[in-house]
Amino acid sequence: MREKIVYVESESDKIFLIILNEVKNLGLKDSNIINCWSKDKLSKESESIKEYLKAKDIYIIFDSDNQVEKTKQNIKKQLQQNPKKEHRLSDKEFEQIKIFLLPENDETKHHSKYCELEHLLEKMAKESENKAFYENFCQHYKEFFNKIKQIKSIQSEQKERTKCWLQPYIIIMLCLERGFVPCGLNDLDPIITTTKILEKNTEILKKLFHFDLEKLQALIDFLNGQL
């Protein structure tokens, strides 16, 4: 079986895939989950993608943003038009790439309130055994977030609460479950922190999200090469 390289558009996507990989035993290497930092920066990865295609399977997982066809065309443009000529993918190379648009890779299920990873995560949390805690967390976190915005302006990429709730939610619940802050979880790098959490706390994480959610199965099948 060929090794898989997965390109995602943000840090939160990478964190989620690292956790999903551990819980569902998908066989991915954490180092092979590559954060592009934006779907509009995928062209910067074209050189590595072109090289990887010679021996590895390439997966791209982006938000649909309620623009399925436009998002697909943008991916194609990022890899076939924007890069330097020598790094552009041919049609044959591009056809080898597997693309999944969150949340479910289904054009009929994408709309403005259900068109990205955060929406899928919210469904997973709401249907988990930790539902009551999650709902209280959301209420108080939103209030806290809004108060902070009144005191200090927040960077544009953090304006929406859903973009930055994942790590605090995990850390707070972990601390409550264990009764203390586990050593090393105060690392400022959320990827390193997530890796440390997974070393001994996978069972706690399973309570925070419903990993058997039907709406998640399409992504799992995709990463298992079944779609």
What percentage of the chain's residues is helix, strand, coil (to nearest 5)? Answer: 60, 10, 30
Residue 189 identity (one-letter amino acid): D
Give the pLDDT confidence of 47-105 residue by residue, as tens digits: 999 999 999 999 999 999 988 999 999 999 999 999 999 999 999 999 999 999 999 99
d(CA 136, CA 138): 5
Inform me whether the pLDDT recorded for 135 exceeds 60. yes
CA angle 214, 218, 223 (to 5 degrees): 130
Q: What is the pTM assigned to this prediction?
A: 0.88
Domain boundaries in the chain?
Answer: 4-116+214-223, 118-208
Name the CATH code of domain 4-116+214-223 (choices 3.30.1120, 3.10.620, 3.30.70, 3.40.1360): 3.40.1360
Q: Are 47 and 87 in contact (CB under 8 A)?
A: yes
